[in-house]
């Protein structure tokens, strides 16, 4: 069984709690999943606190997700429109820390890092993409829906790239798992 950094940290915290309460308890149980969730929440709180003070370089928090699979999903996300929906290239990514605004996503595009896609997290900006004067409106672009889906992830939709199967994203994610 391979442990990652979060497992090691949670185990160390649990061991410290048990050793600190040695002799004062007979039947103490800690849920490791709850402990891991608390660690992730504390990490987000520290990031927010230091980001508001301008003391944390966001580049140190970036994590790369390579080979994110692209499938096809109706953009409406409504069960009643499965037959008449609009199938669109779709991917899922973990939730992104929105405290950094546009700096939260450093790169989104092809896995060889050669073609970077324009991305939008605002529906209004996505709608206005077709009216851009300088940008080639036929180039691929991405809209990331920042409301969590049923899996607790963000849905992303790719436009003008019909044959793409995998993408890469470098961003500051809320949950490091």
- Dump pLDDT digits (tens) for 82-107: 566 677 889 999 988 877 667 788 99
Q: Is residue 176 part of a domain?
A: no
Is residue 129 located within the same domain as residue 162? yes
Is residue 81 located within the same domain as residue 29? no
Is residue 12 located within the same domain as residue 73? no
Closest CA to 52 of 3, 110, 101: 101
Is residue 90 located within the same domain as residue 66? yes
For residue 136, what pLDDT is reported?
Answer: 64
With cut-offs at 50, 70 and 90, classify the pLDDT of residue 2: very low
Q: Is residue 177 part of a domain?
A: no
Q: What is the pTM of this model?
A: 0.75
Is residue 17 located within the same domain as residue 67? no
Q: What is the residue range of 13's domain?
A: 5-53
- Based on the structure, what is the number of domains in the chain? 2
Q: Is residue 10 part of a domain?
A: yes
Q: Is residue 66 part of a domain?
A: yes
């Amino acid at each position: 069984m391979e442990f990652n950094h979060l497992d090691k940290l949670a185990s160390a915290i649990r061991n410290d709690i048990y050793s600190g309460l040695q002799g004062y308890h007979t039947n103490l149980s800690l849920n490791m999943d709850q402990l891991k969730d608390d660690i992730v929440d504390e990490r987000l709180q520290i990031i927010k606190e230091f980001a508001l003070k301008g003391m944390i370089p966001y580049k140190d928090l970036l994590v790369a997700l390579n080979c994110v699979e692209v499938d096809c999903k109706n953009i409406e996300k409504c069960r009643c429109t499965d037959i008449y929906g609009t199938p669109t290239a779709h991917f899922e990514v973990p939730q992104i820390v929105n405290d950094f605004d546009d700096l939260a996503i450093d790169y989104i595009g092809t896995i060889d890092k050669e073609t970077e896609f324009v991305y939008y997290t605002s529906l209004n900006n996505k709608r206005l993409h077709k009216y851009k004067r300088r940008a080639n409106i036929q180039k691929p672009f991405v809209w990331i829906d920042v409301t969590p889906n049923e899996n607790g992830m963000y849905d992303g939709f790719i436009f003008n790239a019909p044959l793409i199967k995998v993408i890469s994203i470098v961003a500051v994610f809320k949950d490091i798992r």
